[in-house]
Amino acid sequence: MKYILFSPVGMTDPISHFHDGAMLHICRKYRPEKVLLYLSKEISEIHDKDDRYRHSISKLCELLGIHIQVELLINRNLTEVHRFDDFYNEFETILKRLEEENPGHQILVNVSSGTPAMKSALQTIAALNERNYLPIQVSTPEGKSNPAREHVDDFDALWELNEDNREDFVDRTSVSSYLNLNARIKKAIVCKHVDVYDYNAALSVANDIRQQICPEAIKLLEAAKCRLLLDIPGVQRALKDCHYDVFPIKQSDEIAVFEYLLWLQVKAERQEYADFIRGITPVVLDLFESILLAYCGIRIKDYCLAKERKGTVKYWLTREMLSKNETGAKMLAILDGEFSCYKDSVYTSAQLAPVLDEFLSDRGLAEKVRELRDIEEMSRNLAAHEIVSVTDSWLLKRCGKTADGIMSLIRSVAEKSGMKIKPSYWNSYREMNERIKTLVMLPVKEKS
């Protein structure tokens, strides 16, 4: 492997207390073809006295019988050496240039020399960019913080007394734990995506650090992705070996309806109002059917003819079927009054709303049914037939309610629809999200 080294220069470079400073020690271990040294104003003033940084590398090359090209990048205006943001931007530009100019080389970055801001900037760049950057840290000979720098004017004497010049020198370099930093940053990004229900993006980031994330978290992310797609079998497959069930409702015939209601709630929370409005119609019909059965004992499909076309069954509410008993005849009379002589058609919430209005003894529920039907009709027709920007103010103007208000009405009707819905069930996605985030942030020992 061929190397290029980028190294800020610190106060313990190039030699301190009879041992290599970090910059020189990395050169000794990795023998890069080229070194780019970054000097602040303070360090440049030391450099001006005896050129000790290039001189030390030259002496090392002479000792090892190698050649290292040295380039100095001197910033004589740099006095505020604590500014992380400035270093991050400048170092990122420098490293990209080195990478472009030296294809086929691995870029080493010295994260043990320079100021804390310089070191942090290089660590972060290496962690985030996932380029060909390898952060190298160098421990002190004593294994603790660097002692104060000696004031030595005779550099050649300092070189001669350098104990690391021996063949049996102790290698103090190690690859910095930038992967752990990268994982921590990406885990935080995963959690941010989960907070806004973007499970596809969360899973994509999580897969980049799959070995450092709890396997159950990956499974739960896969389940969440399927859940938002209303892919219930996909959720069940993803959680097959997990002791966790995301579905609060267990009745198989009600899971799909309630999951759709939760999907609508997510759309409202994400301010995807066009999808929210267009998505109301199917579930309103399901709710009206459930209410008609639960409160009136009427199964609407008993008054329908099933017609199959292209593999899809449609239920036609017909005059003939409605006329077969007294309840049906009463419903037909209601529909004749509503539609000025009812004609056979596939039933929708438009047919069920007036029937519920007449049959329901719970007038509070009947009023909510009518209100929900009116909202569905007004908003859906406009959103479906016009190119419009559906906003919360748009909904308020046309429906008299914001998305939150409409969703609150839907929840109220759903809880009285006959499904066994507890108020806490509406927090199901949030609870799932908290579970995912907890699992994502768990420390996991990376497999070797």
Main-chain phi, psi angles of 402, to 5 degrees: -80, 175
- CATH class label, 2-176: alpha beta
Cβ–Cβ contacts within 10 Å for residue 63, how many?
Answer: 12
Of 252-256, 356-360, 362-366, the least confident: 252-256
Q: pLDDT exceeding 70 applies to what percent of the chain?
A: 92
* pLDDT of 448 over the 50 cut: no
CB atoms closer than 10 angstroms to residue 381: 12
Span 15-43, average pLDDT: 93
Give the pLDDT mean for 118-142: 82
User: What is the pLDDT, as a whole number, of residue 129?
Assistant: 67
Instruction: Give 217-249 pLDDT, tens digit per residue.
Output: 999 999 999 999 999 999 999 999 888 899 999
Q: Contact at 8 Å (CB) between 38 and 6?
A: yes
Residue 33's closest CA among 103, 126, 123? 103
Share of the chain above pLDDT 90, in %: 65
Q: What is the largest CA-CA distance in the chain?
A: 113
The stretch 425-438 carries a mean pLDDT of 96
Q: What is the rounded CA–CA span in Å between residue 181 and residue 204?
A: 18
Q: What is the mean pLDDT of residues 292-313?
A: 92
Q: What separation in angstroms does the CA of 57 have from each of 23, 66, 152?
A: 9, 10, 18
Burial class (CB in 10 A: 0-12, 13-18, 19+), 112: buried
Looking at residue 133, its pLDDT comes to 85
275, 267 contact by CB (below 8 A): yes
pLDDT digits (tens, 9 = 90+) for 387-414: 678 899 988 988 889 999 999 999 999 9
Instruction: State yes or no: pLDDT of 284 exceeds 90.
Output: yes
State the chain's mean pLDDT as an integer: 89
Distance CA 281, CA 317 (A): 18
Positive or negative, the Cα torsion across 144, 54, 68, 3?
Answer: positive
- Domain boundaries along the sequence of the chain: 2-176, 181-248+433-441, 253-421
pLDDT for the residue 127: 78
Distances (CA, A) of 422 to 104, 411, 415, 433, 442: 61, 10, 8, 19, 31
| Closest to 95 in 3D by CA, of 123, 69, 115, 68 | 123
Assess whether pLDDT exceeds 90 at residue 368: yes
At 229 the pLDDT is 96
